[in-house]
Chains A and B, each alone.
Chain A
Amino acid sequence: MRDVAVVSFVQAPSVRRDPARNEVEILMPVVSAALEQSGIPLRDIGFTVSGSCDYLAGQPFAFVMGLDAIGAWPPIEESHVEMDGAWALYEAWIRLQEGDIDSALIYCFGKSSMGELPEVMSMQLDPYYLTPLWPDAISMAALQARAMLDFGSHDEREMASVAARSRRDAASNPNAHLSGDFDVDVLLKEPYLVSPLRKHDCPPISDGAAAIVLVAGDKAREICERPAWIRGIDHRVEAHQLGSRDLTVSSSTALAAEQAGGRGGAFDVVELHAPFTHQELILLDALSLSNGARVNPSGGALGANPMMAAGLIRIGEAAQRIMDGSAARALAHATSGPCLQQNLVCVLEGE
């Protein structure tokens, strides 16, 4: 495996609604800052790849405008995934393994506020048997939470504790927009939104963008004092129909973590893309970490959840803590699809 490191990470401060700017206008300053932080101009970047989703902006080819925004001239080697930016980073990492190029720019953006997000998410389901029923994203997550509670692996108090901790941590993250000091007992007295989920169990709807620069080998050390080396990265998908998988566990996370060399490991920091509180509990079970790692010091997706960027932001947040010297080993995770259908795990280390 060729050594590849995160040397630069920038995100737009997430907001509930950014009515004045389109996706490109949110994205542009982020890409500029990430390139500047890396010291590599776009013309010297070996490979560029982005992640976005047309159904958020409500137009086809949303990513084409991104290409205009970054100023792809002279023409660049470029690709795009209709997935979270974390998967764009995976594609870039694969590309960098070949050895002929040394750097990659990854960017992603999502303006979730353009539509009714929970309903929009119904469009990503089986078009013949599920979408016509219009199960919204919160109701599907509630089914999973109910299955977990009925199985008995965790309870509602643990879920509320995840919410309280995440919102408290989000208060010190200037890029998060939902934070506060909440008492677990008080939270548990709140009414259900969609049983067994209360409002605090659900993520905010966020507009945002993020960018990462990856650099291979010694060049990374020249650019960055403490590059965040990717020691393993893998992603796995599960069956789509909720009835054909066990919702109380995340087998694809366990498998991806195993392949990435992270399962059962010891980490200083873990950044999990768990939009709903019960999903953090399920993910931690799947990872079986061996020590008391700090989980989601950024506040995670419960503090800010810009679609298509929230996964890459987890990798960026984990890498940032290695680059600033506050962590030596970190694990980042991204998810896609209903009820944790698809998961990516990335293990990062300092020197």
Chain B
Amino acid sequence: MELCGVIGIGQTKHDTARTDVSIAGLVREAALRALEDAGLTWSDIEAVVLGKAPDMFEGMMMPELYLADALGAVGKPLLRVHTAGSVGGSTAVVAAHHVQSGRFKRVLTVAYEKQSESNAMWALAPKIPFQQPIVAGAGGYFAPHIREYIRRSGAPSDIGIKVALKDRLNALKNPFAHLRMEGITLEQVAASPVLWDPIRFLECCPSSDGACAMVLASEDVATRNEPAWVLGTAVRSEPLGMAGRDEINPRAGRDCAEAVYAQAGIKDPRNDIDCVEMYVPFSWYEPMWLENLGFTEIGTGWRLTEDGVTALDGDLPVNMSGGVLSSNPIGASGMLRFAEAALQVRGRAGEHQVDGARIGLGHAYGGGSQFFAMWVVSGEKP
């Protein structure tokens, strides 16, 4: 397997509605920033891998066709990945495989969502004959899982509030973040209305327009660009409707973490990994995924949050960028996690930089907690 390094990272300013750009303009904004970061131009790119969540979010079927021009892909291979909410992460993994296979030296990967073009919640909730309707969107789907986590772990009821406050404060250090809530307090989060018990309004991700792009390169090219080296990638999927499946601590997530740690040579994730950017669309998923990813014993993830371990200046910073809670262009949300991990180990995260971050984990999940994508990156060449 060839070595792969991240040599260019770009993202848009995320916002409720980027009415200043078309969909093409949005992806181009992120892609141009990634190219500039890599010191490359469109003609240097050999292949493009595009990801986004369901086509119905913008009401466009197979948008890679229309975006071929904007992505500089004309005359090149162009692949479109779609793996539900994990898609931004799995798109980066597919792009990494393009380099690791030895077939390509410079690959551009881009993920986006322009949610203001339609209504994601209702795009997710059509009534299909003979199928269980999701009806109320993602929050309604995941709230019972969170209640079950609280029941199993005995976590205090304010853990979700603490996660929300931490991520919203981190977002103030990230100029690209969508939600920037100056002076936000625990009391404000606690007082916000409950949308789906126990999820409060301020414990939810927003609906964003945004895009993320990265340039991945082979060893000979990457060495010149202070890359984030890809130490491991993994994806795992399991069925949605399977009796007995544990949706609180899904096996696909555990297997995926095990696989990516094995590749990256990580024996003790809590000590070996310096920072984690994970997919937390509703605040309670921070403690849930900390357990699923093996950072702590089952039932104790909430203690890491409570003790401040996951704070930006904590022992294991989580969601330094402000996370999905602060910016959520769904198709790009996974790639933004992967990109933030890479930014951190390159030492280029600006105000939300974790001091001395050497090894970072990027994590994404999707569907009914059934699709997982992860990568481990390092500033040091393996």
**A→B interface (CB under 8 Å):** 22, 48, 53-55, 58-61, 63-65, 67-68, 71-83, 87, 90-91, 94-95, 97-100, 120-121, 123-128, 131, 234-241, 244, 251-252, 255, 336-338, 341-342
Query: A124: which of B61, B130, B251 is its contact (CB, 8 Å)?
Result: B61
- Stretch in B95-103, B148-156, B211-219 with 4+ CB within 8 Å of A: B95-103
Q: A80-B81, A97-B101, A123-B61 are in contact. Are A75 and B252 (CB under 8 A)?
A: yes
Contact of A79 among B56, B235, B259 (CB under 8 A): B235
B75 near A236 (CB under 8 angstroms)? yes
- B359 CB to closest chain A CB, in angstroms? 21
* 22 A-B residue pairs with CB within 8 Å: A60-B54, A65-B240, A68-B239, A74-B238, A75-B236, A75-B250, A78-B237, A82-B82, A87-B80, A90-B77, A97-B103, A98-B101, A123-B61, A124-B66, A125-B66, A127-B60, A128-B22, A236-B76, A237-B68, A252-B75, A337-B65, A341-B65
Q: How far is the CA of A95 from the CA of B367 in the complex (A)?
A: 23
CA of A74 to CA of B238, assembled, Å = 7
Q: Are A123 and B60 in contact (CB under 8 A)?
A: yes
* In contact, A81 and B237 (Cβ under 8 angstroms): no
User: Judging by beta carbons under 8 Å apart, are B237 and A72 in contact?
Assistant: yes
Residues of B within 8 A of A48 (CB): 237
Closest to B236 in A: A75
B179 neighbours in A (Cβ, 8 Å): none
Q: Tell me which residues across on chain A come within 8 A of B242, comparing CB atoms.
A: 68, 73
Flag if B237 contacts A55 (CB, 8 Å).
Answer: no
Residue in B57, B239, B255 whose beta carbon sits within 8 Å of that of A67 in the complex: B239
Say whether A74 contacts B22, CB under 8 Å.
Answer: no
Q: A75-B252, A124-B62 known; A68 and B83 CB under 8 Å?
A: no
Top 8 nearest A-B pairs (CB, nearest first) are: A60-B54, A75-B252, A97-B101, A78-B237, A123-B61, A55-B61, A124-B61, A75-B238
The answer on a CB contact under 8 Å between A238 and B94 is no
Most chain B CB inside 10 Å of its own CB: which residue of A61, A100, A342: A61
- Please tell me if B234 contacts chain A, counting CB pairs below 8 Å: yes
Please determine whether B94 and A91 come into contact, CB atoms closer than 8 angstroms: yes
| B228 interface residue per 8 A CB criterion | no
Q: How far is the CA of A123 from the CA of B235 in the complex (A)?
A: 30
Name A95's contact: one of B81, B101, B128 (CB within 8 Å). Answer: B101
Distance in Å from the Cβ of B120 to the closest Cβ of chain A? 9
Measured in the bound complex, the distance between the Cα atoms of B103 and A38 in whole Å is: 27
CA distance A100 to B100 in the complex (A): 11
Q: Is B349 an interface residue (CB 8 A)?
A: no
- Please give the distance in Å from A32's CB to the nearest CB on chain B: 16
Query: Taking each of A64, A67, A82, A342, which has the highest tally of chain B beta carbons within 10 Å of its own beta carbon?
Result: A82
The distance in angstroms between the C-alpha atoms of A239 and B71, with both chains bound, is 11
Chain B residues whose C-beta falls within 8 Å of the C-beta of A73 in the assembled complex:
238-239, 242, 245
Q: Which residues of B contact A77 (CB under 8 A)?
A: 234-237, 259
> Is B351's beta carbon under 8 Å from chain A?
no
Please name all residues of chain B whose beta carbon is closer than 8 Å to the beta carbon of A65 when the two chains form the complex: 131, 240
Does B69 interact with chain A (Cβ within 8 Å)? yes
Indicate if the CB atoms of B62 and A83 lie closer than 8 Å: yes
Given A61-B84, A77-B235, A81-B80, answer yes or no on A240-B66 (Cβ-Cβ < 8 Å): yes
Q: Is the CB of B1 within 8 A of A72?
A: no
Q: Which residues of A contact B117 (CB under 8 A)?
A: 127
CB of A159 to closest CB in B, whole Å: 25
Q: Is the CB of A60 within 8 A of B56?
A: yes
Q: Which residues of B contact A53 (CB under 8 A)?
A: 55, 61-62
B61, B67, B81, B128: residue with the most chain A Cβ atoms closer than 10 Å: B61
Q: Is B265 an interface residue (CB 8 A)?
A: no
CB contacts (< 8 Å) of B76 on chain A: these are 236-237
Q: Taking A128-B22, A342-B65 as contacts, is the C-beta distance between A80 and B83 under 8 angstroms? A: yes
Q: B1 and A336: CB pair below 8 A?
A: no
Q: Which residue of B lies closest to A78 (CB)?
A: B237
Q: Tell me the bound Cα distance from A251 to B368 in angstroms.
A: 42
- Is the CB–CB distance between B75 and A337 below 8 Å? no
Q: Which residue of B lies closest to A308 (CB)?
A: B62
**Please, how many angstroms separate the alpha-carbon atoms of A123 and B256 in the complex?**
35
Determine whether the beta carbon of B59 is less than 8 Å from that of A127.
yes
- Tell me which residues across on chain B come within 8 A of A22, comparing CB atoms: 130
Q: How far is the CA of A61 from the CA of B126 in the complex (A)?
A: 11
Cβ-defined contact, B56 with A54, below 8 A:
yes
Q: Are A67 and B240 in contact (CB under 8 A)?
A: yes
B23 at the interface (CB under 8 A from A): yes
Are B69 and A74 interface neighbours, CB within 8 A?
no
A64 to B262, CA, bound (A): 28
Q: Residue-by-residue, is B203-243 near A (CB-CB < 8 Å gives 1, otherwise 0)? A: 00000000000000000000000000000001111111110
State whether A78 touches B235 (Cβ < 8 A).
yes
Q: Roughly how many angstroms separate A32 CA and B57 CA in the complex, as a whole number?
A: 32
The contact string, 1 if C-beta is below 8 Å from chain A, for chain B 355-380, is 00000000000011011000000000
Q: How far is the CB of B190 from chain A (nearest CB, A)?
A: 33
